[in-house]
């Protein structure tokens, strides 16, 4: 059971504003009404602003801004909800140096665990600019730091030995439960980097370890729906990967950031990040190149560009055919097996079907996702929930609504075993896309179980 503070989850900048001032949604509506000099409405208006993406009219925005002390010029210059005072920004202004990387890590460790914002803070030019800056800068040689005790290779070995356990824990138990342990481990490595002495070679290993732990912490937050915290950790991880001189690790961080944009339907930003990852990965293994090609292919698919998507799928298939033993790959690439490859291909066709409304794309998505689930190890519970849900969407696109409902029902106990706010949201989205109303016998029981799942998450 997650602790109470883990459930303080802000789905919208307005949620942060209300929490800071102790307002209920009715209080918010009353404040706006008082400023406008009218009788106001029920709390449903504020609920729609927070949960349904409804934009308040300009008078309501200006009234709220006046209550919050925000100048009206800012309301006119910035779109809703960007002008709301919703907490500290996610910093990106760290130097691409060893001290800058340590500062980025310290910022992530200090603020990441307390950041409950379930929405992205970095968007648009700031987000894409971070990727482009990383793509241009060449790593400088690490200088040995002389600040404390001498770090040995054996000590770093022990730190590295714990990473597979943390990966397994996050995949098995979900990001909300694992992120505290990952962040604690990261904090210890940051302390070693900041207060110890080590050779250039050991320094590179420490930075690489900190980069991977920061990426994992970001992924755990992303899985838990804590998107601003995820961006903090990933920004730090990108700087640290640069300090470690590891282009492939940096590309993997950008790949994760691209997926976050994809989930938020910011598809052009997702494409820019995925392209930077693919182009900037440097000398890496064929399996890694296949993974990066697939991430860019998914962004093109979401944008409805079948030609670019098919080209990248071809590049990914060619690369995976050249891959050698798994021990030649970076350790973090262990998840990318045959089942994952086919899952990503199937997702591309699923997105093309959404964008282009062509049944052949739905049929290809169904075939690839069925193949995925047949070969996916039973131990990968969270992944199975993800791909069962995607297959349900493919079945719905093919008009097989009974099978789609059955698959969505099948996903519920999997999410209960491996809790994931991300999977829960995907499941709710898939249900909402079914052309069935609540009175239909095929979805009555499903909807009851989904309501319980949503409340539990």
* Alpha carbon distances (Å) from 223 to 217, 259, 416: 10, 11, 14
Q: What is the pLDDT of residue 358?
A: 77
**What is the rounded average pLDDT of the residues 312-340?**
90
Q: What is the CATH number of domain 4-77?
A: 1.10.260
- pLDDT grade for 38, boundaries at 50, 70 and 90: confident
Per residue in 234-255, pLDDT tens? Answer: 999 999 998 888 999 999 999 9
- Average pLDDT along the chain: 84
Kindly state the percentage of the chain with pLDDT values over 90: 39
Per domain, the residue ranges of the chain are: 4-77, 89-245, 344-457
- pLDDT grade for 121, boundaries at 50, 70 and 90: low
- pLDDT grade for 147, boundaries at 50, 70 and 90: very low
pTM of the entire structure? 0.73
Please name the residues in contact with 262: beta carbons below 8 A apart, sequence gap of 6 or more: 270, 298, 299, 302
- pLDDT grade for 37, boundaries at 50, 70 and 90: confident
Lowest mean pLDDT among 18-22, 106-110, 274-278: 106-110
Kindly state the percentage of the chain with pLDDT values over 70: 86
Q: What is the pLDDT of residue 122?
A: 56
* Residue 391 and residue 367 in contact, taking contact as beta carbons nearer than 8 Å: no
- pLDDT grade for 44, boundaries at 50, 70 and 90: confident
| Predicted confidence (pLDDT) at residue 5 exceeds the cutoff of 60 | no
| Predicted confidence (pLDDT) at residue 214 exceeds the cutoff of 80 | yes
Q: Which residue has the higher pLDDT, 339 or 192?
A: 339
């Amino acid at each position: 059971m997650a602790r109470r503070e883990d459930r303080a989850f802000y789905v919208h900048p307005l949620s942060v504003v209300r929490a800071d001032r102790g307002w209920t949604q009715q209080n918010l509506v009353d404040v706006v009404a008082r400023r406008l000099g009218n009788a106001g409405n029920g709390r449903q208006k504020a609920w729609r602003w927070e949960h349904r993406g409804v934009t308040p009219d300009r008078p309501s925005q200006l009234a709220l801004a006046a209550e919050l002390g925000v100048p009206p010029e800012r309301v006119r210059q910035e779109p809703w909800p960007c002008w709301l005072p919703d907490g500290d920004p996610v910093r990106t202004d760290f130097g691409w140096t060893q001290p800058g990387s340590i500062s980025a890590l310290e910022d992530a460790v200090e603020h990441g665990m307390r950041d409950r914002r379930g929405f992205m803070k970095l968007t648009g030019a700031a987000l894409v600019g971070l990727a482009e800056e990383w793509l241009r800068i060449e790593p400088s040689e690490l200088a040995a730091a002389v600040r404390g005790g001498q770090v040995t290779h054996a000590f770093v070995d022990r730190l590295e030995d714990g990473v597979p356990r943390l990966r397994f824990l996050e995949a098995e138990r979900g990001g909300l439960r694992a992120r505290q342990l990952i962040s604690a481990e990261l904090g210890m490595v940051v302390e070693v980097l900041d207060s110890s002495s080590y050779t250039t070679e050991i320094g590179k290993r420490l930075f690489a370890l900190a980069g991977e732990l920061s990426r994992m912490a970001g992924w755990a937050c992303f899985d838990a729906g804590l998107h601003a915290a995820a961006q903090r950790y990933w920004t730090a991880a990108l700087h640290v990967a640069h300090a470690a001189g590891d282009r492939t690790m940096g590309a993997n961080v950008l790949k994760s950031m691209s997926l976050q944009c994809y989930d938020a339907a910011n598809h052009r930003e997702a494409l820019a990040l995925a392209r930077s990852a693919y182009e900037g990965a440097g000398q890496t293994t064929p399996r890694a190149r296949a993974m990066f090609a697939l991430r860019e292919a998914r962004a093109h698919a979401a944008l409805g560009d079948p030609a670019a998507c098919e080209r990248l799928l071809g590049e990914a298939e060619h690369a995976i055919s050249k891959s050698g033993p798994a021990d030649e790959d970076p350790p973090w690439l262990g998840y990318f097996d045959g089942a994952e490859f086919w899952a990503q291909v199937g997702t591309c066709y699923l997105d093309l079907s959404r964008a282009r409304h062509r049944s052949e794309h739905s049929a290809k998505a169904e075939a690839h996702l069925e193949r995925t689930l047949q070969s996916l190890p039973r131990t990968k519970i969270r992944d199975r929930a993800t791909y069962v849900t995607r297959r349900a969407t493919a079945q719905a696109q093919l008009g097989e609504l009974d099978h789609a409902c059955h698959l969505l029902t099948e996903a519920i106990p999997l999410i209960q075993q491996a809790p994931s706010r991300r999977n829960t949201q995907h499941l709710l989205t898939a249900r909402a896309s079914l052309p069935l109303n609540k009175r239909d016998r095929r979805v009555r029981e499903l909807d009851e179980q989904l309501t319980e799942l949503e409340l539990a998450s």
